[in-house]
Structure 1
Amino acid sequence: MILERLDLENIRSWKSSSITFPEGITLFEGEIGSGKSSLLMGIEFALFGYGKAESLLSKKAHMGSATLFFSVDGKKYEVRRVLERKKGKVGQNSRGSYIVEDGEKVPLSASELKQRVLHILRFNENPRPNANSRIYRYAVFTPQEEMKAILADDKTRFEAIRRAFGVEDYACAVTNSALISSRIRDKARVLAGMFSGLEDAKARLKDAEKEAGSGASGIRELEAGAESARKRHDIAKQRLKEAGERCSRMTGLSTDLRNAEERMESGGSGARRHEEQAADEEAQAARSKKELEGIPSSPPSDTSSSEIASRLKSVEEALRERDTAAARYEECRRMVEDDDLPDDAENAQEKVAEAAAGIDGKREEISSARSTMEGLVKGATEKRTRASTLRKDLKEIEKLGDKCPTCDQVIDVERTTEIKNAKAEEIKRLDAEASETDDRISAYRNEIKKLDRVVTDLADEKTRCEVLASRMKDHKKAIGDMESAKKASDGAAAEYSRLAASYGLGDDPVGELGRARDAMAEYEKAQVRAEGLKDTIRARDEAAASHRAEAARLRKDAEEAGAELDGIRAKMEGFEGAERERDDAEVEEQKAGREMVDVSSRLATAREALKGAERRIKEYGEAVADGQRRKEEHDRLGGHAGWLDDYFEKSARIIEQEVLTSTRQEFDARYREIYSALIDDPSKESRIDEDFGPLVSQDGIEQDLEYMSGGEKSSIALAYRLTINTMLRRSIDTLKSNLLILDEPTDGFSKAQLAKVRGVLEGLGSQQVILVSHDAELESYADHVFRVSKEGGASSVAKVEKATP
């Protein structure tokens, strides 16, 4: 999945904004609270509908929406969700939600929209509206606070890892198997009461089979009588058939007589028609021969048409090259004459380097001042926190009174006063130190502002010198281009003259060759017409011969038909009386048929009685089979329940432990690799413990994570986050996400650590990486930078054009 654009309307602090997402590494930077994280919430809401509706919709807005444009495997999609405030409550408005796929807009409800998005992304997950996407949460984007919670709490972290890598599925399988086993045994108990009448059904089946045997014997006797009646009927039917065939033969001879008469008549008329058509074809052939005699047989020139075309093309190309080269020279000459450069253009490049060096120096001073200031802010905060705790202690001491509320002993007032005075002095000292630190922080802020202004001035001067240096470079190139164009123009003119002379042409080479080409084309066109006339003459001669041959054949056929007429009349005399024979045979066949129907009726009655017995056999047989089947099903279900209880549950628990161990080993190897890339200190190493917790040791001594620097903690969190992403993308077949989103991934990183971030991200092979951070140092490691700011409670984003190095 690749994100392309996000449109937000009244989503948190975003009133009406459109944010584009280019490919590569993109940084969204800005102050805390500027609205950076709201962008990520908008993406997740548009895709899956996640997030509390009340917190997503701007406080004073009645309607809001998030529209995300993205692509999967090169296919583009657009998905939109709408929030609406009604009667003080905020919820999704399904009427405004839709998805655009293959250019077609399809309105969908909130739950249907999530199902469709999961199908498009090929995330095989629970489509319920309130179910989180495990794949998106751990393979694409994990919020900063959620990652901190995973690392800080052993139980939360272990459950998250089991959920992310599907290990919890085995525990669910064990629970489900116990539930299934219970339901199977319940069903088996029901089946036990459903085959109690099995033996009675078997006895009834036996009686019905005996009755059917007796009925079958009577049917066989009736069938013998029916067979005798059928044979008598068949003999009568055969006599009727033979008489009918004689009548049919007589009818056929009558038809043959009419056909012969028609052949004799049509043969004569057809022969006359073909002779007329032959004469017409011969006349057409004579006209084509006359036209052929007027077409010339010799070409207008000894030079072939292809050679003329080749010469014309060469001359035209030489003429174009001559004119193009002359125009190019004139253009270059004007550019050199019109370019007006200032006096200091020659030294512009040196001034660019000086300004760049000055900017780097001032930025180092700013970074140092900010680092010191952040330490002072942290110290002042700790002092104020300590003072606040002491004040709470004083209030608790003052509430005690004369006796201890726990043991009911009298409190030493003198000792209490001494403790209160000591705490008051400590509070006074902490407040004074915090106030002094605030003054130092203010001084550092003022110094940083001054240095920022100096950097801005140096950047402006650097930009001006870069533009001037570029113009100087273009000016020198234009002079060289002008000289090259002059040489090319002279050469093209000489080549045009040489080529015209070599073909023996005059002042208008193109015109002469064009006229020669047209004359040759007319000649070739006439030759094509001549070949067509020859084919026409040949075809008409053949058609005339064919018509004359057909006329002769038709005359001969008419003569033969006349000879057949006498033979047909003689044969018809031998079939007189055929109709009378057919009528007698028909009377005899009807009598035999009535006898056969009578026997068949008695046979049908006997068969109906047999069917009744067979129906009872089927009914009792089905009852027996059903009871037997239910008994077998009862026994089979008992076997299944035993297998689930005795084998499946134990096997699932063993597989769960093996999968967890294998996952931890692979997780540890990948985590070590990423951690080593971020922390370039051979004395330190980090690994993953049995509960998937990160452990750090230095020179073989394990370190407490709570007392590590902010940069080290962030490195561990980032390595952990990227390890989850890498393993999920490799282990889940349905995941084809080229997208990675990181929220404040480098909080507390040093410059040396920041320099390694880009290499680590590029090593992941993600087509699109989106970083959200308030750390401006990440600008130099991103392909694209967007600055998020908030003014008047409304967030906005602007693309930052990176300076050319």
Structure 2
Amino acid sequence: MILRSVRLRNIRSYEEEKIEFEPGRTLLSGDIGSGKSSILLAIEFALFGTIRGTVASSSLLRNGAADGEVILDFEVGDKSYALKRTLKRTANGISQGTGYLITNGVKAEYSPVELKSRVLDILGYPAGFLSKNKELIFRFTVYTPQEEMKQILLEPAELRVGTLRRVFGIDKYKTIREGSEIFVKDLRQKNNENKVRLESLPDKQQQAKSIEERISGIQEKKKILFPRQQEAIMLLASQQRVVEGLEARSQEAKNILQEISLTKRDHDSQISQRGMLIKDTGALQQEILELEQKLGAEKYSDDHLGSLRENIQAKEKKVQEYEKKRAHIIVRLEEVKRRIPEIQQEARIMNDRLVLLPEKQIRLDQLRNAAKILQINEEKREGLQKDVQELHANISVIQSAITKEHLLIEQVRHLDECPTCKQTVSTKHKEDIQKHSLKKIDAAKNDLLDIRHKHDEQETSLRDMEAAIKELQAKQRAFDVVNVEVKQLGLVQDDLKRKNTELHMLIEEKKEVAGALENITTFDYDEFQEELSRLRKQLLLMEQFAEAQKELEKKQEQKNEKEMAAARIQENINALQEKLTTLESASESMEGVEEELSRAKALLQDCQRKVHALDVEVALLEKEVQTVQEQLLPLKEEIAKLLCIQQKMENVSQIKEWTEKFFIKLMESMEKQVMASLYHAFNEVFCEWFSMLIDDPLLSVRLDEEFGPVIEQNGYETEYESLSGGEKTSLALAYRLSLNKIINDLVPSIKTNNLIILDEPTDGFSTEQLDKVRDVLAQLDIPQIIIVSHEQKVEGFVDRIIKIRKNDHVSSMS
């Protein structure tokens, strides 16, 4: 993790400030109370939010401010992050608001709790540490506030060991051990409960055995009844087949009688249909005779009718063409007559407009030269304007030179000492300078008079030229107007030519159309219509005779069909008579079947009663077996459950014994080994850091079994309180640096191992001890180190210094 910047708004003593960080060693320098530690608290707040008892919202939000915020920019690995947290003052107090997290430019908003979860995930804190120790890990590895540097050394041994156990996750062994003891207690209680339940197992097993013996006795009775039941069933099946055969013969006799009845009815129906057909045939014969008398000898063929229809259609088409052509000629003649006066009127209007054309052309020639003269005069005007500007610039230069000389005269008049060589300026020298400047002024004034005279002449010429150009521009505008009018009259002249041509063509067309109308009236339209009416009447008469011929042919076909149908019905009547004779003979052979069937059914009922009696007896036995088995089934299920409990009891006993005799002791052993390993590593690093900070062979430290510092001076143990201020700070700093290294080594997933923040690590240090801090910083293999200190000498140990000052209760960078 590398910090890039932190932005504070209304946080503690800051109103609005942004502090930027870089890799390497950075010093936050300033007087005591200037606001250095506030920056560190803001960084911690941005990462974790408010922490109960440690980072309170009331201690962060600036007094009197309604809201505040912290934005922290940092990098972890190859990803960049921008993290924002907010505070808001309400009637109920100060609370956190919604913040956001920008990851590689992608922004997402979160609640305070969600934001903390995302930060812990980014920093790689182990999941098992998140519920209790997250702030401890950060404060032991990255940042410890100034007032908490020595707290872990001074607190009771039990609290110190408990804190270290939580930080390194060693308390999990104790938790597992205590949980295992509770687990063993639960297993023991369950076994006692199961023993009580298993007391009824022998009685239930004996009861199940008795029920099974009873079922076996019932099954023996069923075996004895089975042969008798099978014999009765076979006899019943045989008699059933006899009855079915007789029932089939009885049904056959009934079917024959029914078919005889149907055949007689069909025979009578066929005879009736034959009589009706003979009657219809006679009626058709009479209609045919009447049609033949009506037609007589007159006959018309289809070809004759077709030829007549084609002749009528040709004449109708000729009449339509005549009417259409005559109407078209009349319409066109009327259109030409209407169009000729219109064009003549348009031509008269155009001639009236063209009377002005010669006058406009003369006026256009007169104005054409004005455009050429205007262009020449505009070029001359540009030259005059340029000359006037140059003369005006020369006047300004000369006036500036005159002013400069006057200033020089004034300066020299009051000058006593040369500002360059520091020599005294004589009165004669000042007079010479003034005379020389006055000559320059006179010459410049003469030049100025000449230039002003030329300037006035050029301005007069320019004004005359402007007046001439305005007059020419007016003529140019008049030329443009007349030119447009001449072009428009030219277009009118072209239109007049086209109108005259169109008028000539319409007059010629009028003559042609009138001649065509005169020629078409020679056609005798009325005589042609009378001929067409006569042909239509002839066609109608021929169509009526043709329809009568078709009706006669249709009646002939119907008569032939009915005669053939009558012949077919006669054949059916003969066949039905033969079938009726055969059926009556078969019916006589079926007499006596009903009596035989009645006797067979009585014998079948007797067999059914015997089979039913045996079935009832067997069913009663099966019902008894079912009832007894229903009693046996839950009993067996209960026995199976008890046997399963018995097996589980054995397994539970084995687990309980393994947990008591092996697992709990294993956890105790592992805890001791981990604590011993941690102690040796911690003690070794702690001694190294302290010896580097305190170069005194007579003063040494080590850790006791409870991770408390043991101080030896001149071979004797001494108390912490007897140390000097610098020695106490060195002891706390060595303990802090040792914690940082051990935690980062034992928890490799943490991604804050390339950052450390030291808050006033040199409190009470002598000059020699401050030099030792330089060596400590050189030994720290950490890419980014941020130090808070008011010691001026520390500035020589770092790469970059950020100075903090406070004015009127507002902190800022200086």
> What is the TM-score normalised by the length of structure 2?
0.45
Larger Rg: 2
